[in-house]
Structure 1
């Protein structure tokens, strides 16, 4: 059976180079064009190279000429960067063999230096439900290779910066990978977790987690909760200019990658588990962190939220990764 061939973009993408407007509503190429300096992006392995999944056609599934991820190099505020953006519309941004290999190659390029000069950072625009089930083993292998490549890039002194603000969230193996990176920038619309809502419900029942309860999903996995806990370093509105500004501030500032840093992270997680073990909802965690009227948090605009969240993070430095 022949499969359809799709591309992760369209001819209108070049019109979205203006650094303004919704991040959530853009395609992968539109996000890159709007995020980076105008016309500075050069794509590596573009659709014309026709690097498609070798597995999907055998299953009668459509393929994308870039396998659902756009990679390349460009400039952000004049600084050289490498960038990868997952296409949310192709199989939910899922990771397969070619998809993963492209991200790995980009990170290896950062670790080895570009023209003998390290970039100021690697930007990973993650928008994914996790590993592509159609090629699960290859996808799982790709996740481990991406994780190793992240550490190689960081060991070379290149900060790896994750941006999360798409409709798929950031789940599965790349949810783990994101926390191995230097910085996570998230919008309120973004979500970050290992298991998605439907997976939790399927495994433990609706009594444990109701995936249809959107308010519960965002309270538990959404950008605000991740920022309060310290799992995200910056929270921004759903605006490409805000993502651009936050990413630019993080360029050239790698975080230490050492045994001591890992041990501090493990200690923080142990403290968090002990402190919040009896909490059944994010609002209870927010209350334990000293946030008055925690039920108002989901309705707050970003500026008002950031003010109270920063105060809570300051009080709870033992419970987050900013200790």
Structure 2
């Protein structure tokens, strides 16, 4: 069953993405806004709350397959993770262990942990990470979709890299520390968060695809994300010692490329060292042209 609708994924709300991504009418939400399960901390701080605490979770069908799904709402506190937000994600993943859907989809859009609930948020993210790995160990694939305007940073950036597969659009962003955090910590000379071209060259979907940090690069289109999510419904990738050793070897080889200083545009210089053809043209190429230029697993 298809919902071939051309919509910008980055411009959609969390529930609009769910409506376009999933089989029509199949999403059954758990703890919807009517239940008013909200953060107990924000009101005490005089901060506006959301009735769903910024994340929608539930079960649905994707191309006729049963899936569990969570979608973070970037318009509420940048998709930040607090106690309730994180607990909903953990509950979804733990329920997946019992009911064994075909896959768990996480539509990630988050700046990381809410500063208003720092300790509770950090604990929540750690519990989400453990739950993701538990689900993978049970043979259920976890697929993260990244294409929202807020990107996927902080704790959720780590969660994404714990998943089986990552799907990104060319406008999506993925990293541990966000541009503003880096600038605040190390100064504008280290990283200018207002330089949008720089931000996307170092955290954007094209860069993550070329370095092997995401498994599918798609257009900023809901239908493209749906097709990629369907394609990702294969078996879970086991977390084994050999798999981790291969990942470490790839990262060590990438690190060796940085032994010599990167001249000029650092992102372009790194792509060149990775063996990407016509690296200087990457920023101007469309998604289809970039997809055929990735070296194997980002290795030299």
**TM-score normalized by the length of structure 2:** 0.95
1:67 corresponding residue in structure 2: 53
1:304 corresponding residue in structure 2: 289
Contact 1:20 1:34 in 2 (8 A): no
Unmatched runs of 5 consecutive residues or more in structure 2: none
Q: How much does 1:306 deviate?
A: 1.2
1:213 to 195, 211, 233: 195
Match of 2:11, SS?
A: coil
2:270 to 272, 279, 285: 285
Deviation by residue 1:98-148 (Cα, 9 ceiling, x = unmatched):
000000000111122x2xxx1110000000111000000000000000000
Deviation by residue 1:148-167 (Cα, 9 ceiling, x = unmatched):
00011001110000000000
1:5 corresponding residue in structure 2: none
Contact 2:167 2:228 in 1 (8 A): yes
Match of 1:230, SS?
A: coil
Contact 2:108 2:146 in 1 (8 A): yes
2:182 to 196, 200, 207: 200
Aligned length: 295
Instruction: Tell me the distance in 2 between the aligned counterparts of 1:156 and 1:98.
Output: 25
Contact 1:111 1:154 in 2 (8 A): no
Q: How much does 1:259 deviate?
A: 1.9
1:28 corresponding residue in structure 2: 14
Q: How much does 1:253 deviate?
A: 1.9
Q: Please state if 1:154 is matched with 2:143.
A: no
> Cα RMSD between the aligned structures?
1.3
Contact 2:210 2:298 in 1 (8 A): no
Contact 1:127 1:165 in 2 (8 A): yes
Q: Please state if 1:85 is matched with 2:71.
A: yes
Match of 2:162, SS?
A: coil
1:13 corresponding residue in structure 2: none
Instruction: Tell me the distance in 2 between the aligned counterparts of 1:208 and 1:64.
Output: 36
1:169 corresponding residue in structure 2: 151
1:140 corresponding residue in structure 2: 122
